[in-house]
Amino acid sequence: MSDMVSLIKENLYCWRYALILASLLSLLSLVSSPSIMANPKSPLVVQIDSFSFPPILHRSESGEFSGTMGETVKKLCEAGDMICSFDVVPLSRAYKNIKSGRTDALITINVGQLNDCCIPSDWASPWRAGFFSTTGLSEIPETPEDLPGKSLIVVLGMRSPYLFAREMDKMAEEKRLDLLKAPNILSSVRMFLANRAPLLWGGEDFEWYIRKIDAEARYDFKPVVELPVVIWINKDKPRVLERFNQAFRTISEAKILTDDFLLRPQIMKERYLDAVLPREM
């Protein structure tokens, strides 16, 4: 009888040990599960590319990434619990990096050019371009038909002038338009201020260059094109997109954004770091 009792006790002990071991193995499998280890609320490390376009996107004199849109995106990173690193690179490299997956996101205009690889953020801020004039608002073209007979400076490679007038180069070839092409923004502004032509095509950000070169310059500006600047996020990074969109909802509800979805002036003043006027290229 005592042998039977001992046998039962041994079996009970074995079963209890087996249950404890099974529980431990189950717990270990949960802890090592990717869905548990990759805590959706943990900080995300995000690599973001941009290009130099002061005062919107640039590196400051100290080398820190800043700009009006730059600081707004940095605030989105903070609100979304993201550790964002920013690289300011040439435009062609920025596009190559985001398409190849070398970077997670790219801040640039949305004209559908990255739909194959990326998804735009819900956050978007308008970028406006048009004509600067030294001869008054009345001389600024309102339609492409107003261009013949004018003298105009554009930046070589800039696409936005052709959103206004696709036949601009053809007009120049046919001598109906005096079209001067500058190698970069700084050169175009210097040409404009030197009265090489009474009209300059550029974004409203060109005013930053004008003020740096000649704070007393007198001119008019009329925007005729508006495009949204967004954060393009690689399709392979859905959590990054989710964080940015949630962060946009958060800071929108906090009412710290202007009508153009940039940080309000007082907040911007505390964060913004100015750029140095680039050298001639």
pLDDT in tens, 12-34: 444 454 444 444 444 444 334 34
Q: Cα–Cα distance between 241 and 243 in angstroms, integer?
A: 5
Percentage above 90 pLDDT, the chain: 83
- The predicted pLDDT at position 256 comes to 98
What average pLDDT does range 93-116 have in this prediction? Answer: 96
Q: pLDDT digits over 139-174, tens only?
A: 999 999 999 999 999 999 999 999 999 999 999 999
The predicted-structure confidence for 259-272, as pLDDT tens digits, reads as follows 999 999 999 999 99
**Confidence band for 42, pLDDT divided at 50, 70 and 90:** confident
What single-letter DSSP state applies at residue 255?
Answer: T
pLDDT-derived band at 41, boundaries 50, 70, 90: low
Bridge-based pairing of strands 82-88 and 105-109 is: unpaired
The pLDDT, as a whole number, for residue 24 is 41
Q: How confident is the model at residue 125 (pLDDT cuts 50, 70, 90)?
A: very high
Pick the more confident residue, 281 or 278: 278
pLDDT in tens, 170-194: 999 999 999 999 999 999 999 999 9
Does the pLDDT of residue 62 top 50, yes or no? yes
For the packed helices 206-213 and 185-193, what is the interaxial angle rounded to 10 degrees?
60
Distances (CA, A) of 74 to 79, 84, 187, 237: 9, 7, 30, 18
Q: Is 263 exposed, middle or buried (0-12, 13-18, 19+ CB in 10 A)?
A: buried
> How far is it, in rounded angstroms, from Cα 89 to Cα 253?
33
Average pLDDT over residues 244-266: 98
For residue 16, the model assigns a pLDDT of 53
Q: What is the pLDDT of residue 279?
A: 73
pLDDT at 146: 97
Tens digit of pLDDT for each residue in 198-244? 999 999 999 999 999 999 999 999 999 999 999 999 999 999 999 99
Phi, then psi, of 8 in degrees rounded to 5: -65, -40
Helix, strand, coil percentages (3-state) for the chain, rounded to 5, are: 40, 25, 35
- The span from the CA of 90 to the CA of 251, in Å, is 30
pTM: 0.83
Is 70 a residue whose pLDDT tops 60? Answer: yes
Q: CA Rg, the chain, in Å? A: 28
